[in-house]
Structure 1
Amino acid sequence: MGYRGFDWRVFVRTPQAILAVGLAWCVLRLLVQAVIGWEPVGPDDWTRLLQVRSWLDGQAFQDVTQYRMSPPEGFSMHWSRLVDLPIAALALVFGETIAMALVPLLWLLPALFALRAIMLRLGLSDLAIAFGLVIFPLMPLLPASFAPMRIDHHTPQAVLGLICAALLLSRSQRAAAVAGVCAAAWVLISLEGLPLIAVIAGLYGLRYAWTGERLLAPFLAALAFGSSALGFATRGPSMLAPLYCDELLPGHVTAFVAATVAAALVPLIPGQATPAKRFLALLLVPAFALPAAWLTLGPCLANPMQQLDPVLQTYWHGYITEGLPAWRQPVSVMLMTLWTILIVLAAAWTTRDTWLGAERAIQWRLYFLIALAAGAYSLLLMRAGVIAQLLAIPAAAILLAHYLPRARALASAVPRILATLAVFGLATPMAASALAKPLDSRFPAATMRPDVLALIERGECDYSRLVSLEPGLVLVPLDAGPEILGLTNHTIIAASYHRNQGPMRDVLLAFTGPPAEAQTVVQSYGADYVIACGSAADIALYRTAADGNFANVLLSDTPPEWLELDETFSAGSLRVYRVR
């Protein structure tokens, strides 16, 4: 019992503990944000803001085209309106800046409730639950994910995946159905969620094999119905005649329906007295679902990113670190990814005598399997590390609760301090990542080329200066475009959205090629301005393509004759050119 009757062991199990942790994080992050400023973090955050603005300004709910990119046709976007809904709702009430500040913070609440549910269903101790609620800032990918102004779609999809994992541990058919709806929203936001959704479906199947619990069919039925309903609500009739392979397709829904039918038939197969026989009966599900997917998805079974133009692969996608596998990351990031998996394995080993024969053995097995699957997926796709680190939190809490009291019980100060640091080093990827940081420069990844880094100028480019520049069409590198759109009334030729490979390729060829080729691109699009930021990494990359190419010429003192430097709007690393 604590001071004046307060019992922290009881408190950490209550919803009030979640609210207290969430409130503390909100206050801390808002104070930090007041110092660093209230602008979106990166290009995707700016584009999400543009999408919300367009909707609130009257663009149709089911139309997410960005018409200020490559006008008048605009850029086709694969993003879902589901992510826009909370931002737009708060923007209508409190204004745009407050909405962008609060929405990422609010996503932390369902994440914490899901973590609490996982830890309670595993039967963790009070101390472990307490650690599990507060340790997320020590997971390197999570603080930025739940930070103000970070409004892209990666955090919502990770939270939905975490909720699915928490519901997976419940024995309720209703919970399985809710998990199916969450999985539908997840895959509608991003098709990248499909591999882990397939894993969750497989784990529901294992539950049936192990215990006979019939939860797979409710999950799949809700997934099929939810994906159809949410798809029609957000995309309308276009869902029936899609043009792209990077979104939820009728073929996916067909496969979900086929799997649902098969899952409903599995219990009717006779002779399922043992787990092995029930597992064999479950083979009916992939026997129905895989041919349905093969017949209806066709070429869309392939990864859309494998079909990118070679120019985009060379000068764009190959440098988007969040979309690359672990072996193409800096050493510190690679180790962080591997360490996240190690935390789950260490927790499984530490608690093996406790849970292997326990009443909650099924929940423990399911938790470790989904956490390891997420960790393995993050080895292939870096941005999946967000859900992998969320799912590793209960494992980290187990390690801290098990080893930290032992470390703190050491009598001598030096061993006690070293043991305490070792426990935190084991239980979080942060220490491993920090210790490996010096190796990044000694063994640079392809995304950290020394020749590129050496060309990045010092200083920043203030695109808000362009608000007074007469609106026009701008040729600008891909990453800077969304911020210029967010701060001004200009339009741009292209930004970093892969469906629109033609304009993207033209922009890349313009900057990496000779000035004459850039002039051809400018004339074909009718651009009014050319803008370059010398302190931007993408411009530095373009400069390495060839000596004397357009990117190098723009940053020199002798621009081509068909451009005129506007000294009024140029400042520092920012060069603004008018097309003559």
Structure 2
Amino acid sequence: MSAGAARKTWVTVTLVWLAAVVLLVATSLLPPDAKPLLADTDDAMRMVTAADLLDGQPWQDTVVHRDNAPFGAPLHWSRLIDAPLAGLIALLRPTGHPDLAALVWPLLLLLPLLALSELWGRRIAGPGQTAAALVLPLLSMPLLAEFSPGRVDHHNVQILLLAGLSLALTDSHRHRASAIAAGLLAAASIAIGLETLPFVVLSIALVALLWAFDPLTWKSAAVWFALPLFAGTAALAALALPADQFGVAACDAISIVYVLATGLACLVLLALAALSEALKTLPTRLLVLATLGALSLGVLALFYPQCLAGPYAQLDPKMAALFSEIGEARPLSLFFEDNPASATGAILPPAVALLVAAWRLRRSRGDERLAWLVLLAFLAVATPMTIVQIRGARLAAFFAVPVGVWAIAAARERYLAKGGPQGAGLLVATWLVFASVIHNVVVIGLDQWLPKPAVAGASEFTVARLTCFEPEVFATLAALEPGIAVASPELGPHILHYTRHAVVSAGFHRNVEGTLDARAFFRGNEDEARRIAAERNIRYVVGCPTVPLKEKSSWLKPVSPKDGKLEILEVQTP
């Protein structure tokens, strides 16, 4: 691409981004579609941890000291997201509106999303496809949701890291910088959140298999991917963990487990590169690869067998039952019963993209074939993840976009060559298949005419509604003298964010004792509730709209106004 064409492309990207920012702010925050800026518990908790870092909490101290009160609760999140968010909060505090950081951060991230989409679209469909590459992400509900105002959790950064990782892999055999970038992006994705771990494993496997089929071409890429992957993981682990915790195994966050795992992967890839000229045949190379891979897994199993079952292998069984109630952890089939529009938009584009990518892989050659192989591999992991847990849709959505760009380009070329209603219909249909915003509109319309399935009542674990997350809802509670509050865990992060109070549980999986106590307080008998209140020195009982207790006894005094959204009861100490 010439310098002039490149400037024109990036001007276009920037203009589309600015238009998208205006549209997202208008649709998210202005009537009649206005909703709370922090409409998700994870986003509210991220604002808490970022503010704690800004207010002087040490970088390596990730305990939320006002959660699981009065003891504190460790959190598995990365400070790599807290840091830039804390910087935005610091800039905005003098204005009196620090929460605007939650509006600015995801909109800033939308720009690199569009840039990566344009780069992927150009890689897979050639130049001249900028329009489709920039518009399709804005028509993808799972993607758009993660880059809308208020989304300050780490998922949008994870999408960007995987998008960059996949793109770098397609160039890593030709450019050392791309291989290094791929290794560093994989390490960063591990450090920020282990939802992306399957894609890091996939990337290691892809590099190894590509070496097996073409060792001379992929020898250098294997080396320069492996070294930054291990070095980056080790460095980020050292940055995240105190020295006395570096050797402690944790399956759910960056720890010695993943330093060892990436170290073993690095050794395997370096060994393969060293043997490139000695191993003359493909079967021999595959045998050596399989043997070294099995030995690495054996070493990992020897030291950390508990983590082989996944990041949440150490989750307390009692907590596992509670977390099965979380909406984003449900399988696609159950999510479809409650929200057929969103479910259709989540699965249709990646499923179609998976089929198209498999077809194109057979028909393409050279670097084009490599790009299709990478897309197919990432879709082959992300699409089943979406079926098993709907949260996988946010990762699958991006990899459907380049395939959609290619399909739209092919349909447009066919229409321009042959014309006619069939060509026009194919072009329109292609846009419709990959635009999940339109799926939502169509399915919602059809849903008005279809019989509604019976849906189970809302779990007590998720009783809070969006209206309970408005900042003004917490004004009365914030004005009370600071103390420990017990509430539905879903209300916990917002109480921490909007008030100075501590909570028994904010609903995160490492806080086993607090979450079980909060559940028992509301579900158990009065004696058990009084015992928990005494042991934890609970001062306030909070519910939205009401406290979910069977009976409100004389030891609980109402302190909230009758017209308040929250019901607040104060514990009366004998």
TM-score normalised by structure 1 residue count: 0.85
2:357 aligned residue (339, 343, 348): 348
Structure 2 CA distance for partners of 1:441 and 1:534, relative to 1, 3 Å: farther
In the other structure, the counterpart of 1:24 is 19
1:339 aligned residue (332, 339, 348): 348
In the other structure, the counterpart of 1:367 is 375
**Secondary structure, in 3 states, of the residue corresponding to 1:141?**
helix
In the other structure, the counterpart of 2:136 is 135
In the TM superposition, 1:59-78 aligns within 5 A as 59-78=57-76
What amino acid sits opposite 2:39 in the alignment?
Answer: V
What amino acid sits opposite 1:156 in the alignment?
Answer: V
What amino acid sits opposite 1:118 in the alignment?
Answer: W
Which string of whole-angstrom CA distances, capped at 9 and with x for unpartnered residues, describes residues 367-416 of structure 1?
2222322222333332232121011110111222222565698656xx88
Structure 2 CA distance for partners of 1:261 and 1:155, relative to 1, 3 Å: same
In the other structure, the counterpart of 2:272 is 266
Structure 2 CA distance for partners of 1:87 and 1:284, relative to 1, 3 Å: same
Alpha-carbon distance in structure 1 between the residues aligned to 2:463 and 2:240 = 41
In the other structure, the counterpart of 2:493 is 482
Structure 2 CA distance for partners of 1:241 and 1:233, relative to 1, 3 Å: same
Alpha-carbon distance in structure 1 between the residues aligned to 2:308 and 2:456 = 33
**Secondary structure, in 3 states, of the residue corresponding to 1:330?**
helix
Alpha-carbon distance in structure 1 between the residues aligned to 2:464 and 2:263 = 55
**Secondary structure, in 3 states, of the residue corresponding to 2:543?**
strand
Alpha-carbon distance in structure 1 between the residues aligned to 2:261 and 2:318 = 34
**Secondary structure, in 3 states, of the residue corresponding to 2:393?**
helix
Structure 2 CA distance for partners of 1:237 and 1:197, relative to 1, 3 Å: same
Residues 158 and 386 in structure 1, CA contact (< 8 A), matched pair in contact too: yes
Q: Does 1:442 align with 2:452?
A: yes
Q: Does 1:205 align with 2:214?
A: no
2:191 aligned residue (188, 202, 211): 188
In the other structure, the counterpart of 1:423 is 430
Alpha-carbon distance, 1:352 to partner: 5.9
Alpha-carbon distance in structure 2 between the residues aligned to 1:38 and 1:346 = 38
1:397 aligned residue (402, 405, 412): 405
**Secondary structure, in 3 states, of the residue corresponding to 1:495?**
coil
**Secondary structure, in 3 states, of the residue corresponding to 2:74?**
coil
Alpha-carbon distance, 1:264 to partner: 1.3
Identity of paired residues, percent?
25
Which string of whole-angstrom CA distances, capped at 9 and with x for unpartnered residues, describes residues 106-142 of structure 1?
2122222322332333352513x32011211221111
Residues 234 and 259 in structure 2, CA contact (< 8 A), matched pair in contact too: yes
In the TM superposition, 1:376-415 aligns within 5 A as 376-404=384-412
Alpha-carbon distance, 1:552 to partner: 4.8
Structure 2 CA distance for partners of 1:306 and 1:452, relative to 1, 3 Å: same
1:579 aligned residue (567, 571, 574): 571
**Secondary structure, in 3 states, of the residue corresponding to 1:531?**
strand
Which string of whole-angstrom CA distances, capped at 9 and with x for unpartnered residues, describes residues 300-351 of structure 1?
323454554555344x312212223334422425444431332313433664
In the other structure, the counterpart of 1:39 is 37
What amino acid sits opposite 1:522 in the alignment?
Answer: A
**Secondary structure, in 3 states, of the residue corresponding to 2:569?**
strand
Alpha-carbon distance in structure 1 between the residues aligned to 2:544 and 2:565 = 5
Alpha-carbon distance in structure 2 between the residues aligned to 1:275 and 1:469 = 72
Alpha-carbon distance in structure 1 between the residues aligned to 2:71 and 2:536 = 12
1:293 aligned residue (289, 297, 300): 300
Q: Does 1:561 align with 2:554?
A: yes
In the other structure, the counterpart of 1:113 is 115
**Secondary structure, in 3 states, of the residue corresponding to 2:63?**
coil
**Stretch of structure 1 that moved more, 144-153 or 112-121:** 112-121
Alpha-carbon distance in structure 2 between the residues aligned to 1:344 and 1:47 = 35
Alpha-carbon distance, 1:83 to partner: 0.6
Structure 2 CA distance for partners of 1:505 and 1:356, relative to 1, 3 Å: same
What amino acid sits opposite 1:325 in the alignment?
Answer: P
Which string of whole-angstrom CA distances, capped at 9 and with x for unpartnered residues, describes residues 448-471 of structure 1?
514769x97999441233222222
Residues 252 and 293 in structure 1, CA contact (< 8 A), matched pair in contact too: no
Structure 2 CA distance for partners of 1:458 and 1:473, relative to 1, 3 Å: closer
Residues 532 and 575 in structure 1, CA contact (< 8 A), matched pair in contact too: yes
For the aligned residue pairs, the C-alpha RMSD in angstroms reads 3.1
In the other structure, the counterpart of 1:529 is 540
Structure 2 CA distance for partners of 1:200 and 1:349, relative to 1, 3 Å: closer
Residues 48 and 151 in structure 1, CA contact (< 8 A), matched pair in contact too: yes
Alpha-carbon distance in structure 1 between the residues aligned to 2:420 and 2:272 = 59
Structure 2 CA distance for partners of 1:394 and 1:203, relative to 1, 3 Å: same
Aligned residues, how many?
545
Alpha-carbon distance in structure 1 between the residues aligned to 2:128 and 2:486 = 57
What amino acid sits opposite 2:227 in the alignment?
Answer: A
Alpha-carbon distance in structure 2 between the residues aligned to 1:459 and 1:141 = 19
In the TM superposition, 1:46-195 aligns within 5 A as 46-95=44-93, 96-127=98-129, 129-170=130-171, 171=173, 172-195=175-198
Residues 136 and 434 in structure 2, CA contact (< 8 A), matched pair in contact too: no
Structure 2 CA distance for partners of 1:441 and 1:156, relative to 1, 3 Å: farther
What amino acid sits opposite 2:210 in the alignment?
Answer: R
TM-score normalised by structure 2 residue count: 0.86
Alpha-carbon distance in structure 1 between the residues aligned to 2:367 and 2:224 = 24
**Stretch of structure 1 that moved more, 156-165 or 427-436:** 427-436
2:335 aligned residue (329, 339, 342): 329
Alpha-carbon distance in structure 2 between the residues aligned to 1:364 and 1:123 = 11
Alpha-carbon distance in structure 1 between the residues aligned to 2:343 and 2:553 = 43
* Structure 2: tracts of 5 or more residues without a match: none
* Structure 1: tracts of 5 or more residues without a match: 1-6, 540-550
Alpha-carbon distance, 1:243 to partner: 6.0
Alpha-carbon distance in structure 2 between the residues aligned to 1:13 and 1:362 = 28
In the other structure, the counterpart of 2:522 is 511
What amino acid sits opposite 1:152 in the alignment?
Answer: D
What amino acid sits opposite 1:493 in the alignment?
Answer: V
Structure 2 CA distance for partners of 1:459 and 1:155, relative to 1, 3 Å: closer
In the other structure, the counterpart of 1:543 is none
Alpha-carbon distance, 1:208 to partner: 1.5
What amino acid sits opposite 1:207 in the alignment?
Answer: L
Residues 311 and 508 in structure 1, CA contact (< 8 A), matched pair in contact too: no
Structure 2 CA distance for partners of 1:101 and 1:431, relative to 1, 3 Å: closer
Structure 2 CA distance for partners of 1:502 and 1:209, relative to 1, 3 Å: same
In the other structure, the counterpart of 2:502 is 491
Residues 349 and 433 in structure 2, CA contact (< 8 A), matched pair in contact too: no
Alpha-carbon distance in structure 2 between the residues aligned to 1:272 and 1:70 = 57
Q: Does 1:219 align with 2:235?
A: no
Which string of whole-angstrom CA distances, capped at 9 and with x for unpartnered residues, describes residues 129-181 of structure 1?
32011211221111121012210111111211111011011132221111111
Structure 2 CA distance for partners of 1:417 and 1:121, relative to 1, 3 Å: closer
**Secondary structure, in 3 states, of the residue corresponding to 1:564?**
strand
Alpha-carbon distance in structure 1 between the residues aligned to 2:467 and 2:227 = 51
Alpha-carbon distance, 1:206 to partner: 2.5
Alpha-carbon distance, 1:263 to partner: 1.3
Alpha-carbon distance in structure 1 between the residues aligned to 2:73 and 2:350 = 38
Alpha-carbon distance in structure 2 between the residues aligned to 1:238 and 1:467 = 37
Alpha-carbon distance in structure 1 between the residues aligned to 2:186 and 2:466 = 43
Structure 2 CA distance for partners of 1:12 and 1:200, relative to 1, 3 Å: farther
Alpha-carbon distance in structure 2 between the residues aligned to 1:306 and 1:281 = 30
Alpha-carbon distance in structure 2 between the residues aligned to 1:411 and 1:302 = 54
Alpha-carbon distance, 1:60 to partner: 0.7
What amino acid sits opposite 1:109 in the alignment?
Answer: L
Residues 489 and 505 in structure 2, CA contact (< 8 A), matched pair in contact too: yes
